[in-house]
Amino acid sequence: MGKIILTGDRPTGRLHVGHYAGSLKRRVELQNSGQYDKVYIMIADAQALTDNAEQPEKVRQNIVEVALDYMSCGLDPEKSVMFIQSMIPELTELSFYYMNLVTVSRLQRNPTVKSEIKMRNFESSIPVGFFTYPISQAADITAFKATTVPVGEDQEPMIEQTREIVRKFNAVYGEVLVEPEILLPDNKACLRLPGIDGKAKMSKSLGNCIYLSDTEEEVRKKVMSMYTDPNHLKVEDPGQIEGNTVFTYLDAFSSDDHFKEYLPDYNNLEELKAHYKRGGLGDVKVKKFLNNVMQEVLSPIRAKRKELERNIPYIYEVLKKGSEEAREAAASTLNEVRKAMKINYFDDKALITEQIEKYR
Ligand code: TRP
pLDDT of 92 strictly over 80: yes
Q: How far apart, in whole angstroms, are the C-alpha atoms of residue 266 and residue 351?
A: 75
**Cα 98 vs. chain centroid, distance in angstroms?**
22
DSSP 211: B
Q: Which residue has the higher pLDDT, 122 or 12?
A: 12
For residue 151, how many C-alpha atoms fall within 13 Å in the half-sphere facing its CB?
A: 26
State the average pLDDT over residues 84-92: 98
Q: Which of 26-40, 113-127, 321-335 has the lowest mean pLDDT?
A: 113-127
**Residues paired with residue 7 on neighbouring β-strands, in sequence order:** 41
Q: Are 66 and 14 within 8 A, CB to CB?
A: yes
**Ligand 1 pocket residue status of 141, Cβ below 6 Å:** yes
Q: How far apart, in whole angstroms, are the C-alpha atoms of residue 161 and residue 142?
A: 12
The CATH number of domain 216-308 is 1.10.8.100: no
The H or E element spanning position 39 is: strand 38-43
How does residue 1 score in pLDDT terms, banded at 50, 70 and 90?
low
pLDDT of 25 strictly over 80: yes
How does residue 248 score in pLDDT terms, banded at 50, 70 and 90?
very high
The H or E element spanning position 283 is: helix 283-309
% of the chain residues with pLDDT over 70? 100
State the average pLDDT over residues 95-107: 97
Every domain of the chain and the residues it spans: 4-192+311-354, 216-308
Answer whether 4-192+311-354 and 216-308 agree in fold. Answer: no
Q: How far apart, in whole angstroms, are the C-alpha atoms of residue 207 and residue 330?
A: 37
5, 9, 148, best to mutate for ligand 1 pocket (most atoms within 8 Å of CB)? 9
- Quick one: pLDDT at residue 79? 97
- Quick one: pLDDT at residue 170? 98
**Ligand 1 pocket residue status of 9, Cβ below 6 Å:** yes
State the average pLDDT over residues 266-279: 96
State the average pLDDT over residues 263-282: 96
Q: How far apart, in whole angstroms, are the C-alpha atoms of residue 283 and residue 229?
A: 9
pTM (2 d.p.): 0.93
pLDDT tens-digit series, residues 37-86: 999 999 999 999 999 999 999 999 999 999 999 999 999 999 999 999 99
- The topology under which CATH files domain 4-192+311-354 is Rossmann fold (3.40.50)
How does residue 210 score in pLDDT terms, banded at 50, 70 and 90?
very high
**Ligand 1 pocket residue status of 44, Cβ below 6 Å:** yes
Output phi, psi for 177, to 5 deg.
-90, 155
- Quick one: pLDDT at residue 189? 74
- Per-chain mean pLDDT for the chain: 94
42, 115, 145, 182, best to mutate for ligand 1 pocket (most atoms within 8 Å of CB)? 42
State the average pLDDT over residues 137-158: 95
Q: How far apart, in whole angstroms, are the C-alpha atoms of residue 2 and residue 208?
A: 40
**Ligand 1 pocket residue status of 50, Cβ below 6 Å:** no
- Quick one: pLDDT at residue 162? 98
Nearest Cα residue to atom 2 of ligand 1? 9
- Quick one: pLDDT at residue 188? 76
- Quick one: pLDDT at residue 114? 87
Q: Which of 53-57, 63-67, 116-120, 258-262 has the lowest mean pLDDT?
A: 116-120
